[in-house]
Structure 1
């Protein structure tokens, strides 16, 4: 059975977003509750802000459709599956609502659910909840080649359905070709994203050093002292000095 690795799916989602949408997947259940799913492979320093934008965009659309009748609003679940970590706490799964300073629930109409895959380290025997079984499956399904390696919980009907959806053998030749093209295209996209992140960090570091030099010079320090304080070259300080004087 040929399975598609979850990280490959994350990469595809990252590089092949629909031109008419702002997130990876949107759906509703039988009670008209809305689910927004976003998958993120690379670094995401402002991911929380992006998730709020998605949820509030959907919230505003719901309000307008209901002619501003807040009593008719159904729930919105904003689900994020992230390859990397974005939160400082150790839990791989989090669910957030509007709460007060004591942690008491104020409103659960908007729920933000986050899964950070790098934090999930449970082994098969440790997986007890449906969520743990699902994340374990998502992280390991592409590594299993023999049926004897299947965890016992893969016999559960709901997981059978999910696993069957990942079977690439059922793809047509065109679908398989499209998958390979997307993965190849995304490899370069990920490298490009890495370069952009590196350049952004270098620019930020340069801006900090420039600000340090400006402050040092304004305090009357010499060019040499300013260079030592900012850990830059004398030529860098002279360049900043020329910009300040307009020479």
Structure 2
């Protein structure tokens, strides 16, 4: 039986939900723990077509990029499949967004901080790091922050293990929504936040027309195809490693046999040079016996 809700980690579903300004504001304020005077009250979505070539004739795009009323920039990236060098990529994205603020020939004064929020279905860091982690540049001795240009928030959905009955904050509501959207029949009764409930409404299957749903399925198939390609490459690399190890093991076995033969010939008083010629071992190896 088809699920009532679609998978919000699907590229198309994610953009459909978080392209709503009010939903994005609520999400950012809860994840960044912004309230009262520090809360985001206005955002402006920024086009993301300017991302440079990353090599191999491939271009990647930010999922969503926006700017708040104070000029701070936010990049929100959804990673729903395994990808090599993901942490390097998000740092590149954040750096590019920071640099892109500066018109050619203008001063660096006035550049605003960039916060990149990466949501991943795969765990990225060791187990002792929680589901939501915050990464800033700090000075080693004082542990104080003096560089504010770039910072990162990572959300590892695989580490979120609260049940519907254990949700008590807006952050919990959003994390549960991201981790469990496709698995539930209705939002937990504990969720009272209007914008989280609206997000559930947005990904309800019956609120998608045929064209939108077709795009959702295409995005899902693409993600699965990329995952299969990655697994296939990993399997090939593993098999090559096993074969290389087998060959090295055979070679080591042959060398061990040569050493045993050489040792026996030495005990019989055979000339070292002749032993070297017959076994292929060097004189230095034979003298070491």
> C-alpha deviations, 1:88-113, integer Å up to 9, x for none?
13411111111122432222321111
Equivalent residue runs for 1:13-24 within 5 Å: 21-24=60-63
User: Radius of gyration: which is bigger?
Assistant: 2
Match of 1:57 in 2: 96
Which of 144, 153, 162 aligns to 1:104? It is 144
Q: CA deviation at 1:5?
A: 1.7
4+ long deviations beyond 6 Å: 10-13, 17-20
Which of 210, 216, 219 aligns to 1:179? It is 216
Which stretches in structure 1 are left out of the alignment for 5+ residues?
227-247
Partners of 1:4 and 1:12 in 2: CA distance = 10
Match of 1:33 in 2: 72
Which of 210, 225, 229 aligns to 1:192? It is 229
Match of 2:5 in 1: 3
Q: CA deviation at 1:51?
A: 1.0
Equivalent residue runs for 1:53-132 within 5 Å: 53-64=92-103, 67-69=106-108, 71-88=109-126, 89-102=128-141, 103-132=143-172
Q: Kindly tell me the number of residue pairs found equivalent between the two proteins.
A: 213
Partners of 1:9 and 1:63 in 2: CA distance = 29
CA RMSD of aligned residues (A): 3.4
Answering whether residue 196 of structure 2 is matched by residue 156 of structure 1, we say no
| Equivalent position SS for 2:155 | strand
Q: TM-score, normalised by structure 2?
A: 0.62
Q: Is the 8 A contact 1:10 1:40 kept in 2?
A: no
Q: 1:28 to 1:4 in 2, by over 3 A?
A: same
| Equivalent position SS for 2:146 | strand
Q: CA deviation at 1:9?
A: 4.3
> C-alpha deviations, 1:164-207, integer Å up to 9, x for none?
32223222221112222332343222211211233344446666
Q: TM-score, normalised by structure 1?
A: 0.71
Moved more, 81-90 or 26-35: 26-35
